[in-house]
Amino acid sequence: MFFEMRHELRTFQTTNYRIYSQKLKGLNKNKKIIFLSDLHNQKYDRDNQTLLKKIRDEKPDLILVGGDMLVGQVGYSVEPAFSFVSQLPDIAPTYHGYGNHEQRLKEKPKVFKIDYEGYQKGLEQCGVVFLNNETVDIMLGDTPVYITGLTIPLVNYQHFKTPKLSSQEIRKRIGKKEDGYHILLAHNPAYMKEYLNWGADLILSGHFHGGLIRIPGFRGLIIPGIGSYKKYSGGIYKEKDKRIIVSKGLGNHTFKIRLFNKAEIISISLLHKN
């Protein structure tokens, strides 16, 4: 078991999902999205070239980043995250939502003493588009697709608590769902009920790191910052005509634990449902 855990902390896999929707009728062939989350400054080799090669090999049409690519704690550098994320727009258009680590650095610069504004500005100059309670519309084939990045209050990331987050608060931050196919980047999956009520067709989350230790084929057991099991800990879920994908993440911080829970790049193929 020790050797398996050691192995999983040093490797990653590509997880493939196929998503069908009648709203994607303008697609005459599948379009591929790479979804990345929770890198936390992890380096699999020099400058993460193996990770970048795997992403290039997927030939994505779009890259979505779910947040927490760095470590938002005193004494950590943004350089490992910057080195990796800055290279993504050379592969495909890249849209970046906020995780709690980016958010705390942005909102509390005097506490963490890290130049987050310089970090984000540098990535924007490289072509990364940040979505801080913002929506963009893009074309995939002949199909308009909307992408929204939701940033929830930092109070909703308390340890061992799940403070209420109302649907009204979500609408206040990001407005109403657009008609057409809509993707929501929402880092914290503890509020999935509220995200579903908002109405996105595809919800992409992370944050829970897959539950750290998983029962194979079942669920994650230890949720970072929460402690107890949550339904949406990692994997793909179906809720009526909506789909949810929760990344198990690419890295770790504080608790260096992974067991039966491999780090992952997520490759999503979007297809029209006839």
Q: By three-state DSSP, how is residue 223 classified?
A: coil
DSSP letters along 115-184, please?
A: -HHHHHHHHHHTT-EE-SSEEEEEEETTEEEEEEEE---GGGG-TT------HHHHHHHH-SPPSSEEEE
Find all residues with CB under 8 Å of 274, minimum gap 6, and list them.
none
DSSP-derived secondary structure letter, 58:
H
pLDDT of residue 256: 75
Q: What is the CATH number of the domain that holds 92?
A: 3.60.21.10
pLDDT in tens, the chain (274 residues): 655 656 566 788 999 999 999 999 888 789 999 999 999 999 998 889 999 999 999 999 999 999 999 999 999 999 999 999 999 999 999 999 999 999 999 999 999 999 999 999 999 999 999 999 999 999 998 999 999 999 999 999 987 778 899 989 999 999 999 889 999 999 999 999 999 999 999 999 999 888 776 666 656 656 555 555 568 889 999 999 999 999 999 998 776 778 678 999 999 999 987 7
CB of 195 closer than 8 Å to CB of 186: yes
The whole domain housing 63 covers 2-272
- The rounded distance, in Å, linking the Cα atoms of 133 and 250 is 24
- The rounded distance, in Å, linking the Cα atoms of 66 and 39 is 10
pLDDT of residue 26: 83
- The rounded distance, in Å, linking the Cα atoms of 240 and 197 is 12
Q: Total structural domains in the chain?
A: 1
Dmax over Cα atoms in the chain, in whole Å? 53
pLDDT of residue 223: 59
- The rounded distance, in Å, linking the Cα atoms of 213 and 263 is 12
pTM: 0.94
pLDDT of residue 10: 78
Phi and psi at 242, nearest 5°, equal: -105, 155
Question: E strands along 60-124, which residues?
Answer: 62-65, 94-96
Task: Using the Cα atoms of residue 150, residue 152, residue 158 and residue 161 in order, give the sign of their dihedral.
Answer: negative
- The rounded distance, in Å, linking the Cα atoms of 112 and 114 is 6
pLDDT of residue 216: 64
pLDDT of residue 219: 62
